[in-house]
Amino acid sequence: MVARSERRRTALFIPSQVMRVRPGRVTVGTDGSYWGQLALGWAVRHAHRAGLELDVYEADRRFELIPADLPADIGTGSALRSYPMLPVRIRSSGPDPAAALLEAATETGLLVVGCRGQHKCHLGVGHHALLLAQTATSDVVVVRGRPQAVHGEFRKVTAWVGEDDTIVSRARECARATRSVLEIVRQEPGGGVPDTTDLVVVRRGPSVRTALHHATCPVYVVS
């Protein structure tokens, strides 16, 4: 059944099945911060569902100011404990985390980062997240938004499209992997970012900054 509204939404039910969103590995960067941990958890669940291997880039205490009460592994061990069969490689992000993740993006299918790290930032999105979302060679997920959305409780994936409908296929694959409903929303001038969804999928371009600053869920940026 297809549902339409004045915002030109199309909702489709996607049959439950597991499939690869993109071939290759999933790569995630974490510094042990609140959003870094949520990004790690999102990436772990995604890699597990899609049957992909995972690369974790941890912040290095030699180069970054990390709270002393965080564990030596920045909490990676606790995030992986429930997925003992997930193939994982753990690496240091070194003195320049953004550069390390940009390099890693050349060899991965999907890069996952939190919207910000240990430090405060303008409008809730850090410089590194913006840089990676706009320049990485792979697709990028920036984890932000409501806890319900981050953990997939709305059971909906939204393709936020303009003239380019190719992002619908990526959103459809994400919906299949999470056994969610797919919603297609046409971007309109002055229109708000879709709400009450677990993931907004958008093509890299002018709308990315709007989505990253205003979405109430993780944002999947198609390269």
Task: Please tell me the predicted confidence (pLDDT) of residue 122.
Answer: 52
| Residue 60's CATH number | 3.40.50.620
pLDDT at residue 166, as a whole number:
79
The pLDDT score that the predictor gives to residue 5 is: 34
Q: In what order do the strands lie in the sheet with 9-13?
A: 9-13, 181-186, 156-161, 199-203, 219-222, 139-143, 110-114, 26-30, 54-58, 88-92
pLDDT tens digits in sequence order for the chain, 223 residues long: 333 333 445 555 444 344 344 457 999 999 989 999 999 999 999 999 999 999 999 988 888 777 777 778 888 999 999 999 999 999 999 999 999 999 999 999 999 999 987 666 555 578 889 999 999 999 999 999 999 999 999 999 999 987 667 799 899 999 999 999 999 998 877 778 999 999 999 999 888 989 999 999 999 999 8
CA-based nearest residue to 200, from 115, 118, 128: 115
Q: In the listed set 93, 110, 145, which residue is the last one of a domain according to the structure?
A: 145
Query: For residue 72, what pLDDT is reported?
Result: 80
Site of tokens 């999907």: 110
Instruction: Find, among 25, 4, 18, 17, the residue nearest to 107 by Cα.
Output: 25
Residue 70 in tokens: 């965080």
Quote the number of domains for the chain. Answer: 2
Each residue's pLDDT tens digit, 32-56: 899 999 999 999 999 999 999 999 9
As given in the structure block, the two tokens for residue 62 are 């030699």
Confidence at residue 13, expressed as pLDDT on a 0 to 100 scale? 43
Same domain? 31 vs 134: yes
Please tell me the predicted confidence (pLDDT) of residue 40.
97
DSSP 138: S
**Helix count and strand count (H, E) for the chain:** 7, 10
Is 158 inside a domain boundary? yes
pLDDT given at position 20: 41
Label each residue of 50-95 as H, E or C: HCCCEEEEECCCCCCCCCCCCCCCCCHHHHHCCCCCCCEEEEECCC
Q: Domain of 172?
A: 9-18+148-222
- The reply to whether 31 and 141 lie within a common domain is yes
Of the residues 127, 145, 163, the one at which a domain ends: 145
Distance CA(97)–CA(17), nearest Å, equals 35
Nearest to 28 by CA among 170, 129, 167: 129
Res 118: pLDDT: 67
Cα separation of 192 and 142, whole Å? 18
Reported as half-sphere exposure (CB side, CA atoms, 13 A), residue 19 has a value of: 16
128, 34: one domain: yes
Q: Which position has the token pair 């999105």?
A: 125
Q: Which among 130, 152, 158 is positioned nearest to 142, based on CA atoms?
A: 130
Distance CA 91, CA 29 (A): 10
Q: Does 83 fall in a domain?
A: yes
In contact, 102 and 129? CB cutoff 8 Å: no
Q: Tell whether 52 and 118 lie within a shared domain.
A: yes
Nearest 5 degrees, angle CA 41-CA 47-CA 52?
Answer: 155
Nearest to 8 by CA among 130, 170, 169, 189: 189
Quick one: 160 and 109 in the same domain? Answer: no
Asked whether the beta carbons of 70 and 37 are under 8 A apart, the reply is no
